[in-house]
């Protein structure tokens, strides 16, 4: 919804009005990218409202500085993989399932959180649930 609102503000109109102008050849081809992104967002949101499934992928390129890339140790990359395939209830639960020390696990999650690869959501009182907001990460090393 944030992205939809941002596009509405940027173009000063609803998607329906933008669609009408775009499909009626009143907008240049340079607006095609915005149109297709906006259409995908609106359709994904409708699907989410109807059946609770959010089917929307965002490609994002992160240009990490060398000192940031150095923080992605093999253990942390393995932790990202573990988080992606395992449903966990807390950091303790994740540490148990990954057979790792809770303190070290927490420190690794903090680093991954600062790099925006992991979100630490507080729920159920003091329990912190680590989640990865991405399905796939590809590393390009130049």
Looking at residue 115, what is its pLDDT? 92
Looking at residue 70, what is its pLDDT? 92
pLDDT along the chain (142 residues), means of 10: 88 88 73 81 80 68 85 93 88 92 95 92 81 76 64
Q: Where are the domains of the chain?
A: 2-51, 66-131
pTM: 0.60
- Count CB atoms within 10 A of the CB of residue 139: 9
Q: List the beta strands (DSSP E) in the chain.
A: 119-123, 127-131
Domain 66-131: CATH class, spelled out = mainly alpha
- For 100, the 3-state DSSP assignment is coil
Q: Which two tokens stand for residue 126?
A: 């003091």
Looking at residue 71, what is its pLDDT? 95
Q: Which two tokens stand for residue 58?
A: 């965002």
């Amino acid at each position: 919804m944030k992205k939809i609102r941002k596009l509405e503000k940027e173009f000063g109109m609803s998607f329906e009005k933008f669609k009408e102008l775009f499909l009626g050849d009143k907008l240049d081809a340079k607006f095609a990218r915005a149109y297709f992104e906006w259409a995908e967002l609106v359709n994904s949101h409708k699907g989410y409202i109807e059946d609770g499934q959010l089917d929307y992928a965002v490609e994002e390129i992160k240009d990490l500085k060398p000192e940031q890339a150095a923080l992605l140790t093999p253990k942390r990359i393995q932790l990202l993989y573990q988080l992606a395939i395992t449903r966990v209830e807390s950091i303790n639960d994740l540490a148990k399932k990954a057979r790792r020390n809770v303190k070290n696990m927490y420190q690794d999650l903090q680093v991954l959180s600062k790099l925006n690869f992991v979100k630490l959501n507080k729920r159920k009182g003091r329990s912190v649930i680590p989640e990865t907001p991405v399905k796939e990460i590809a590393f390009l090393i130049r």
